[in-house]
Amino acid sequence: MSLTHETIKETLVAQFGDKILSWEESYGMACITVQADHNLKVLTFMNDDPTMGFQFLTDLTGVHYPDRKGEEISVVYHLHNLKENVRLRMKIYVPVEKPDVYTATGLFSGANWMERETYDFYGVNFVGHPDLRRILNVDEMDYFPLRKEFPLEDQTRIDKDDEMFGR
């Protein structure tokens, strides 16, 4: 039996019910949104269940949506079933005030550095991570640079004023 998007949807809804918040297909890839406190349960099921077989974590990243009150930070997982060659995107949303997400390092070794990078740039606290610290930015940095909380350019720069260009 081949693994189709419909099979994945039916299996997940049967297993988790209302914890699966939404389902969509975008550019041929299935995408589910899961309740944030169930991310590890869903990932474990998708990894361990023989019919699902999503045992490869392709990518894990964050996205900042400043206009979505109570769910400003999104963590996005890209999973791959190598036997059936099926990909799946899983999203969760957490508030910026308390961006706590259960770590996936116990399931996927590659999640270690991806979670550290997501912490470093978005401030997501991966609960249970074995070594959650900055990976690319300096330790003294007291903000998370990929959050959309800051202007794109330094407003105090004078070299970009009109008078510098003869206007």
Complete DSSP assignment for 31-64: EEEE-GGGHHHHHHHHHH-TTT---EEEEEEEEE
Residue 79 confidence (pLDDT) = 98
Maximum distance among all alpha carbons in the chain? 70
Tell me the residue range of the domain where 78 lies.
Answer: 5-165
**In the chain, where does DSSP find H-type helix?**
5-16, 39-48, 111-122
CATH number at residue 114: 3.30.460.80
> SS3 of 118, please?
helix
pLDDT higher for 21 or 2? 21
Number of folded domains in the chain? 1
How confident is the model at residue 152, as a pLDDT?
72
The Cα–Cα gap between 42 and 52 comes to 11
Could you read off the pLDDT of 144-164 as tens digits, one per residue? Answer: 999 998 777 777 777 766 676
3-state secondary structure of 19: helix
